[in-house]
Structure 1
Amino acid sequence: MGSSAESERNLELELLCKNIKSSEKSKRQIALKELLQIVSKQTNDADLKRLLDQTYLHLVKCYTDRFESTRSLAILIVNELLSRFDGRNEFFLDYILPTIRRRIGLPEIVEESEEVQLQLLEQVGRIVDKFQSKDEDFLMRVYNDVMDIVIRNLSNQYANAHRQCCKVIQLLAIATPSFYIRAENLVDPLIALLCHRQSATRTTAVETLGIVGLYINNKNDKLVQSIVSISPLLTDSVAAVRRMCGIVGCKWLMQLRDRYSFFERIVPLVLCCLKDDLADIREEINLLFIHCGDQYFEENEKELQRIELIDHEYPCSNYIETVAKKRPTLGCRALVQKSLRMINIIVKEIQDWKEPVRLHSLKLLWEVVLFAEKAFTCKFMELFPVLAKACQDDENSVVKEAKRVAFLMGQLLNYSDWMEHAMRDLKKFPSCLGILRCFNSLFAGAELEQKQNSIEEIAKLISTSEMCHNLNEVHQSVLLDLIEQMVKILLDKVEMNERSDIASSSNLLADEERYLFEILVKTIALSNAHENEEITNRGLQLYEQFCRTPENRVVLQGKYTKAIIIGIEDLDCEHSERSERIVMLFGCIKLCGFQKEYFDSTQSAVKMVLDNSTANAQIKILSGVSMAFLDYNHENMEEEALDLLTRFIKDILEPALVWKAGRNAESIRAMAIQALCSIGYSCTTEARGIFPSLAKHFISLVEDELAITRAYAIRCILKSGPFPYEDYRQLTIDILSRLDDPCANVRSLAIECLPLLEVDRTDDLFSETSYSTLAEAVISRLFLYLDDPFIKIRPILLDSLSMMAKKHPVVFENETNKLPSNYLYNDVINELKKLRLE
C-alpha cells in the first residue's frame, strides 16, 4: 500500500511538472497553484527534499516565464519551501540566488515588473536570514551575488525596492562575517538615497548606513563621507529622520572600530538631537548618549576617576535655573571635551550664507559648550570673532541663538580668561555691534562676584568717545543693555556698603559712578538723533534709577557734567544738525540743563556752535537751551544767578536777536526769543531786572515776519520790569499795531500786554501828560476791537479794559463818555464798571 501511494504521488508530480512546462499559460498557473498547496502541506524535510528534487528545474525555469503571474507563483512556492525546511538546503544558494541575480542583479535589470522585483528582493532577504550562522559562513560563496543584487537595486527607481535592499543589507551584516569585504561599495548608493523624497527611504538609508559604517575600513574616507552626508539630515523636516541620525551617532560612538579617531565628527550627530524641537527625540537620544558616556568612562576609568574626585560641584551658582535641568555625566562631558576639534567644522558652518545652517550650527555649539564647560576656554579665542560676527545682523533667530551661546559661555568658562580677550577686541573694534552684543551676553552670564570687580574697567572703556559716541540706534540699545547690568551691580554694591556702614562708600565707588554717569548722559543725549523714543525713555528710566533721588541727581550733574561738556571736541568747526557733536551737546543741555558748576562750560560750547556751525545746528542748540531753561533751577545759585543769566543773554541770546536777512536768520531769531521767554518764565525775578535793557530788540521783534517770533517777543515783554519811558512809548505803539495782526494768538497777547506794560516813572523823560495820552490811545483802541470775530478775544478785552480802568480811572471815564449810545457798548461799560468797583 505504501508503495502504491508513493507511485501515485510520483505520477501526480510528473503530471504537474508536465503541466508546468505546458505552453498554455492557464495550465502552468493551475499546476503551480496545486504545487503550492502540496508544498504547504509538507512538514518533513525528507519529503520536501524529494519534492524539490523533482520540481526544482521547473521552478527555476518559471522565474524566467514571460507572464508575470507565473513568475510570481514560482517565487511564492520557493518562499514556501524556504519556510518549510527546518534545515538549510543548498538549492536556494546554488540555484535560486544566481537566478535572482540574473533577473535583477545585472547592470541592466531583466525583470520588468516592479512587484516581482520586490518579491525577488524579499526572497533574497529570506534566504540570507535562513542561512545566517555564528559557527559557519554559509553565505560566503554567494556573497558576491547578494551584494550585486543589493548594489544594483539601491539605484532602482522603485522606492519599495530601496527599502527592501536596506533590509537585506541589515540582515547580511548579521548573517555573514564576510560582510566587510564589499561593505564600502554600499556607501555611495546609500548616500544617494539620503536625498530621496520619501522620508521612510531616508530613514532606512540612514539606519543602514549606520550599520555599514561599522564594517568599513577606517583608513579610507568612506566613513567620513558617510558622516558628512548624514549631517544635513539633522535639520530634516521629518522627526523620524532626525531621530535615526541620533541613534546612528550613538551606535557609532559605542561600536565603531577606532571610534576615538572619529569622535569629533560623530559627536555632533548626537548633540544636535539633544536640541531637537521634539521632547521625545531629546529624551531618547539623551538616554543613549548617557550609555555612550558610561562606556567611555569604563574605558578610561583610571584617568576619569581622578577627575571625578574634584569635579563634584556645579560650574556656576545658577546652573540648575538657567543652564540645564541636570548636569551631564562625567563620561559624556569627557567624551565631548575629547572631541573639541569639531569646533573647526562648527566655525565654518556658523559663517555659512544660509540662515538655517547658521542657526543649526549655533544650537550645536550651545550643546558643545554645555558639555565642555571650562575645557572650552581654550577654544574661546578662536570662536569669539565668529560668534561676534553672528551677532552683527539685525535681531533674528540667528542673533538670539548666538547671544544664548555667549551667555552660556559667560556662565561656564573661566571669567578672567574670556574677559581679557573680549576686552581686547572691544578696545580694538569699539564700534562693532556684534562684539558689543556678544560681550554683553558674556557679561550677563558671568557670576555677580566676578562682575563686581570689573565694573570700573568696563565703564571706563565704554565711556570713551570711540564707543559711546555712536548714533546708531541698535548700538545705543545694546549699550543700554550693558549699562543696565552695570547700574544694577553698582547700586547693589552701594546698598551693601550702606548696610555694612562702610565709611566713605561713595568715595570707594567714585570712578565707577563717574564713568556710568557719563555713559548714561551721552547715550540719552545721542538718542535724540532719531525719532524712536523707546531708547530715550529707557535711558531716562535707568538715569533716574542710577541717581536714586532728585537731590542726588543734582549733585551728580554738578560733579560730572562739566567733564562731559568739555569732552565734546571740535565744536569750533562747522557742523550740521545731524552731527554727533551737535546732537550730544543738544542732549546734554536738554537733560542736565544749567547749573553753576558747568554753566560757563555750557555757555562756551553754545557760543562756539552759534559762531561756527550751520544754521540748522544753531537752531537745534537754541531749542535745547530753551527746553533747559524751562526747567531751570537757580535756587542753588543764589546771588550768582543774575550775573550768570545776564552774561548768557548778552553773549549768547542778544546777538541772535539782531535782525538779519534770510530764512535761516529768521528761524534763529525765533529760537533765541523762545529761549529768552523760557528764562522769563523760570527766572521771573531775574528777568524783570534784565529784560528792560533788551527793549530795542523787543521793538524790532514785535514787528518780525514770523508770528511765533512776535508772540514770544510779547510774552517776554509781559515778564519784563519797568521800561524807560521812550522804550515804553515805542513798545506801546508797536503793540497797538499788533491789534490788527493776522494771527489771533498775537492779537490776544497784545491785548493782554497793553495794560501790563510797565514804565519807569523815575526816568528823566517820563511825563504824566504824555503817559495819560498814551493810556487814552490804548483805551480808545481797545474799545474798537470789541467786535473781533475771534470769540476768545472778548474776555481778554474785558480783562484788559478793566485793568486800564483801574490803572487810569480818569482817562477811562473820559473815553467812556465819548462812546456812542449803543446797547453793546452800554453793556460792556456797565460790566466794566462792576469789575472796577470790585
Structure 2
Amino acid sequence: PASDLSPSRPRESWGGAGRALRRELSSPKGSWMTWRENSPNPSLFPPRLCPPQGAEPSEELRLGLVQLLSLLLQRCGAATAPYLGDIARVLQAALLDHYAEVRRESCRCAVACARAMPEHFHMQSESLIKPLMQTISHQHYRVRVDVIQATGAVIQFGNGKSVDDVLSHLAQRLFDEIPKVRHAVTTVIGEWLLHLRDRYSYFHKLIPLLLGSFTDEIPENTKLAWTYWEKIGLQWEKENEENLKDKMDFSVSPSHYPKGETRPGLGCRELVSRNLSKILPGLCHDMTDWVESTRIKASQLLYTLLLHAEDHITQHMELLLRTLYQACSDEQREVVRNVSLVSAELIGTFVSPKVSLKLITPAFEQTPKASCVMVLAAVIQGSSKEILQPHVTQLGNTLSQAGVCQRSEEVFYMEQLLSCVQALIEVCQEDCKEISLQLMKVLVTIMAIPSSQDLKEKVEKTMSSLAEVQQLESFHCLYKQHIIQLLEWISVSCEGWSCYSPEVLQFEVIATHSGPVIGEALDDFILVLKTCLQPNKDPQMRLKIFTVLSQLLQKASETINSQGLFPSYLETVIKDILAPNLQWHAGRTAAAIRATAVLCLWALIHCEMLSPKEILKVKDELMPQVIASMDEDSKITRLMACRIVDVFLRVCGRQFDADKFKNTYTEVLKRLDDASCDVRMAAAHTLANWFKCLKDSDVKSSMEGHVEFLYQELLVHLDDPDENLQKAVLEVLKEGSILYPDLLVREIEGVVHKHQTPVYCNQLLHHIQSAKESAF
C-alpha cells in the first residue's frame, strides 16, 4: 500500500492527489497496472509527466506524482538505480512544469536522486542541467532558491564538467534582489569549493563568485561567505602543507596594512595569488561592462582580490593600471570610489614605489588624464612614509611639470591634482620640506584656474597643512620662503604672455594671495609689470595685470608697500607703466586699460604714496593725459580723472601757466553737464580749487576773459534742476568771486531775472557785498 512508502505520513495529508494515487496503486486491474504489464519498456511511472505521451492536466496530481517519486527515492535509495533514465526524463519535464510547486518538488527530487545513487547519477546528471538553468530565473524566488540548491547537488554528485554550463547563471543570481537567493548561491559555491571532486580545476572560476558575496548588503550573507572562505583556506593549507611549510614558518605580516582590515589566512591568500592570473583578465573586462551593477560588483571584487594577493599584485601591474585608469573615468561614483580610493591604495600598500611609480609616471610624460592623477593620489595615500621617502623628490618634480599642472583648466582634473598634493603632505609629513617649492607651484596653479570658491578654500587649507608640517605659522610663511623663486618661475616667459597664458593667472595668485610678502619682492614684481604693461603687448593681458595692480594699490600698506619700499619704485611705475597706458587708443579694451590705469594713479594718490614732491615731478607728463581721460565713456574713469586733476591743482596749480589753466578749466567745465551726479559734483569741487590756484598765480591778469566766460557758464548751472549741484556751484562762485567781484555782480544782475530759483543769485550777491564790506 501507498502508506508503506512513508509510514510517518498519514493518508489524510495527501489530499485529492493522494486519493487519486491510492486509486491507481490499489487497483488490481487499473490502468497503471495494465500499462505496466503490457508496455514493452516498462517504467517506474506512467506517462503522465513526460512526453511524448502527454502530461497530466491536473496540477495537484502532477505534484503528487513528483512527491511520490521523491518518497520512492528516499525510501529505496540505490535500489532505484535501474530506473535512473526514467527518473531523469520525469525530472526534465517536471522541472519545466507550469506549476511552480511542481518545479520546487522536482528540485528537491533531483537532490534526493543525486544523494540516493551517487555512483550512477553522473550518467544522467548532465541531462538535468538545461532544464534547471531554464528554471533558475523563475519569477518566484522560492523556485530560484530550490533550483540553485538542486544545481549544487546535481553537479556535486554528478558530472563536474557541467560547472562551466551553470557558472554564468549562478553569477547572475548574485545580483538577485532577494537575499535568500544570494544566500543559496553562496552556499552552493562554498560547498563546491570544499567538496567538488574536480574543484582544483575550477578554483579560478568559483573563487570570484564566493568572494563576490563579501560585499553583500546583508550581513548574514557576508558572514556565510567568510565562514566558507576560511574553511576553504584551511582545507587547502592542509592539502598542500608540504609546499607551504616555509611560508607557514617564516611568513611575516606587512608592517603597513590597511586600517580596519583583517589579514586573510595563508591558504586564502595563496589560493588567490595562484589563480589571480586567470581571474584578473575577466574581472578587468567586467570593469568596463555596459551594465552598471556589473561594474560595481567587479570593482568591489577587485579590492577583495588585491587585499588577498598582496605583493603578488606586482606582476599584474600593467593590466591593473590600465583597468584602473579606465574605471576612474566611470560615470558611476561607486565604481570610482571602489577603484581610486580603495583598490588603488592597495597598490601603494603592497607594491614597491620603485615599481609602481616607474609604471605610473610615464603616463604623465604624455598627456596625463584626470584618471591617471587620481590613481597616483590613491597609490600615494596607500603608501607608508618610510618606503615613499626616497621618491618624494621625483613625485614633486613630476607634479610641478608644466605639462602636468598646467595641462588643463578642467576643475575635476585640478581636484585630482590637489588630492595628490594632499596625499603627499599627509603621508610624507616633514619630508615634504624638500619639495615645498614644487608643491607651491602646483597649488598656485590650481588656485589660478577659474573655479569655484570651494576649490580655492581647499587649496588654501592645503597650503596651511604644508606650512604646518614644516612648522611654519601660516601659508604666508610659505610665500615668504619661496616668493622670489615663484616670481622667477613665472616671469621666465613673460615677454610672450597673452591673455590665454596660464602664467598671467599664476602671477595674479602670487601677487594677491601672498599678502604682505609681495612687498619683499618688488624687484621681480615691478620687472614683470614693466615688461607686460607696455602698449605693444596683448590688450586683454594688460587689462588683467592692471586689475591686479589696482587691487594691490587699494590696500597698499597690507600688500606691495608692506615694507615701505614701494615709493622708491614710483618713478618707474608712473613713467614706464601708467603713462604709456593712459595714451588714447581705439577700442573697448583700450578704454578699459585707461580706466584701470587711472584707478591705479588715483590709488597711489589716495593712499598718499605719491607725495606732493613726486606729483611735481610727474605733473607735466601725466596732466594732459588725465585731463583727456575726463572725456572717457566710463563714468568711473571720468570721476577719478576729476579727482586726480583736483589733487594736481591743490599741489602744483599755482605753478601752472596760462595755457594749463585754460586747458584745465575747459575740460572740467564740460563735466558739469555730465550724466553722472557724482562726476558733476567732483567737477564743481575741482573748479573751486582752480579759482584758488588762479588767485595766487602770476597769470591771473591774463585770464580775465576766461574767468568772465567761466562766470557766465557757472551762473547757468546755478539754476540747475539738481539742488545739490546748485549748492556746489554756489560755493564755486563764492570762491571765484574774489578774483573779479564787480564783473561777477554784473553777470549776476544780467541773468537773475531769468532764473527759476533766484535765491542762489541773491545769496551770491549778498556774499560779494559782505566780502567788500569786510575788506574795508
Global fold match (TM > 0.5):
yes
Q: Give me the whole-angstrom Cα distance separating, in 2, the residues matched to 1:438 and 1:105.
A: 59
Q: Identify the residue that residue 158 of structure 1 maps to in structure 2.
A: 99
Q: How does 1:653-668 map to 2 (within 5 A)?
A: 653-668=578-593
- Displacement of 1:581 after TM fit? 5.1
Q: How does 1:405-444 map to 2 (within 5 A)?
A: 405-410=342-347, 412-444=349-381
1:235–1:242 Cα contact (<8 Å) kept: yes
Secondary structure at the residue paired with 1:611? coil
The reply to whether residue 297 of structure 1 matches residue 234 of structure 2 is no
Q: How does 1:319-358 map to 2 (within 5 A)?
A: 319=258, 322-324=259-261, 326-341=262-277, 342-358=279-295
* 1:480-500 Cα shifts (integer Å, max 9, x gaps): 222233345676458xxxxxx
Q: Quickly say closer, same or farther: Cα 1:131–1:831, change in 2 above 3 A.
A: farther
Q: Identify the residue that residue 86 of structure 1 maps to in structure 2.
A: none
Q: Give me the whole-angstrom Cα distance separating, in 1, the residues matched to 2:617 and 2:176.
A: 79
Q: Give me the whole-angstrom Cα distance separating, in 1, the residues matched to 2:475 and 2:351.
A: 40
- Displacement of 1:362 after TM fit? 0.2
Q: How does 1:761-772 map to 2 (within 5 A)?
A: 766-769=698-701
* 1:358-399 Cα shifts (integer Å, max 9, x gaps): 111000111112222223232222201111111124572221
1:315–1:373 Cα contact (<8 Å) kept: no
Q: Quickly say closer, same or farther: Cα 1:565–1:142, change in 2 above 3 A.
A: same
Q: Identify the residue that residue 123 of structure 1 maps to in structure 2.
A: 68
Report the aligned-residue RMSD.
4.2
Q: Identify the residue that residue 143 of structure 1 maps to in structure 2.
A: 84
1:216–1:223 Cα contact (<8 Å) kept: no
1:714–1:750 Cα contact (<8 Å) kept: yes
Aligned with 1:381 (options 302, 318, 343): 318
- Displacement of 1:435 after TM fit? 0.7
Q: Identify the residue that residue 400 of structure 1 maps to in structure 2.
A: 337
User: What amino acid does structure 2 have at the position aligned with 1:260?
Assistant: Y
Q: How does 1:198-597 map to 2 (within 5 A)?
A: 198-218=140-160, 220=161, 222-316=162-256, 319=258, 322-324=259-261, 326-341=262-277, 342-393=279-330, 396-410=333-347, 412-469=349-406, 470-488=408-426, 492-493=430-431, 509=433, 511-525=434-448, 527-528=449-450, 530=451, 532-543=452-463, 546=466, 548-549=473-474, 552-553=477-478, 555-556=480-481, 558-568=483-493, 571=496, 575=498, 577-578=499-500, 580=502, 582-591=504-513, 595-597=521-523
Q: Quickly say closer, same or farther: Cα 1:683–1:414, change in 2 above 3 A.
A: farther
1:629–1:675 Cα contact (<8 Å) kept: yes
Q: Quickly say closer, same or farther: Cα 1:603–1:773, change in 2 above 3 A.
A: same
Secondary structure at the residue paired with 1:328? coil
Q: Quickly say closer, same or farther: Cα 1:208–1:492, change in 2 above 3 A.
A: same
- Displacement of 1:228 after TM fit? 2.5
Note the residue ranges of structure 2 that are not aligned, 5 or more in a row: 9-14, 28-35, 468-472
Q: Identify the residue that residue 722 of structure 1 maps to in structure 2.
A: 652
Q: Give me the whole-angstrom Cα distance separating, in 1, the residues matched to 2:457 and 2:386.
A: 30
The reply to whether residue 709 of structure 1 matches residue 637 of structure 2 is yes
User: What amino acid does structure 1 have at the position aligned with 2:63?
Assistant: L
2:49–2:94 Cα contact (<8 Å) kept: yes
Q: Give me the whole-angstrom Cα distance separating, in 2, the residues matched to 1:562 and 1:43.
A: 97
Q: Identify the residue that residue 547 of structure 2 maps to in structure 1.
A: 623
Q: Give me the whole-angstrom Cα distance separating, in 1, the residues matched to 2:212 and 2:597.
A: 65
- Displacement of 1:719 after TM fit? 5.5
1:128–1:172 Cα contact (<8 Å) kept: yes
Q: Give me the whole-angstrom Cα distance separating, in 1, the residues matched to 2:415 and 2:386.
A: 25
1:677–1:716 Cα contact (<8 Å) kept: yes
Secondary structure at the residue paired with 2:79? coil
Q: Quickly say closer, same or farther: Cα 1:112–1:778, change in 2 above 3 A.
A: same
* 1:389-413 Cα shifts (integer Å, max 9, x gaps): 1112457222122123335414531
- Displacement of 1:195 after TM fit? 2.4
Q: Give me the whole-angstrom Cα distance separating, in 2, the residues matched to 1:108 and 1:619.
A: 94
- Displacement of 1:743 after TM fit? 1.4
User: What amino acid does structure 2 have at the position aligned with 1:476?
Assistant: M
Q: Quickly say closer, same or farther: Cα 1:300–1:704, change in 2 above 3 A.
A: same
Q: Quickly say closer, same or farther: Cα 1:356–1:786, change in 2 above 3 A.
A: farther
- Displacement of 1:655 after TM fit? 2.7
Aligned with 1:750 (options 683, 696, 712): 683
2:204–2:275 Cα contact (<8 Å) kept: yes
2:585–2:591 Cα contact (<8 Å) kept: yes
- Displacement of 1:811 after TM fit? 5.3
Q: Give me the whole-angstrom Cα distance separating, in 2, the residues matched to 1:232 and 1:272.
A: 11
Q: Give me the whole-angstrom Cα distance separating, in 2, the residues matched to 1:534 and 1:582.
A: 22
- Displacement of 1:622 after TM fit? 2.9
- Displacement of 1:666 after TM fit? 2.6
Secondary structure at the residue paired with 1:181? coil
* 1:198-231 Cα shifts (integer Å, max 9, x gaps): 222222222222222224544x4x3123222211
Q: Identify the residue that residue 114 of structure 1 maps to in structure 2.
A: 59
Q: Give me the whole-angstrom Cα distance separating, in 2, the residues matched to 1:289 and 1:600.
A: 69
1:779–1:801 Cα contact (<8 Å) kept: no
Q: Give me the whole-angstrom Cα distance separating, in 1, the residues matched to 2:527 and 2:321.
A: 42
- Displacement of 1:171 after TM fit? 0.6
How many residue pairs were aligned? 728
Q: Quickly say closer, same or farther: Cα 1:634–1:438, change in 2 above 3 A.
A: closer
The reply to whether residue 173 of structure 1 matches residue 111 of structure 2 is no
Q: Quickly say closer, same or farther: Cα 1:779–1:316, change in 2 above 3 A.
A: farther
- Displacement of 1:95 after TM fit? 13
Q: Give me the whole-angstrom Cα distance separating, in 2, the residues matched to 1:758 and 1:101.
A: 129
Secondary structure at the residue paired with 2:610? helix
User: What amino acid does structure 2 have at the position aligned with 1:747?
Assistant: R
Q: Give me the whole-angstrom Cα distance separating, in 2, the residues matched to 1:226 and 1:542.
A: 53
Q: Give me the whole-angstrom Cα distance separating, in 2, the residues matched to 1:649 and 1:394.
A: 54
1:243–1:281 Cα contact (<8 Å) kept: yes
1:393–1:399 Cα contact (<8 Å) kept: yes
- Displacement of 1:565 after TM fit? 1.8
Q: Give me the whole-angstrom Cα distance separating, in 1, the residues matched to 2:76 and 2:724.
A: 110
Question: Taking structure 2 as the reference length, what is the TM-score of the superposition?
Answer: 0.82
Secondary structure at the residue paired with 1:381? helix
Q: Give me the whole-angstrom Cα distance separating, in 2, the residues matched to 1:464 and 1:403.
A: 23
Q: Give me the whole-angstrom Cα distance separating, in 2, the residues matched to 1:555 and 1:747.
A: 45
Q: Identify the residue that residue 19 of structure 1 maps to in structure 2.
A: none
Note the residue ranges of structure 1 that are not aligned, 5 or more in a row: 1-34, 45-68, 82-90, 495-508
Q: Give me the whole-angstrom Cα distance separating, in 1, the residues matched to 2:250 and 2:708.
A: 102
Q: Identify the residue that residue 603 of structure 1 maps to in structure 2.
A: 529
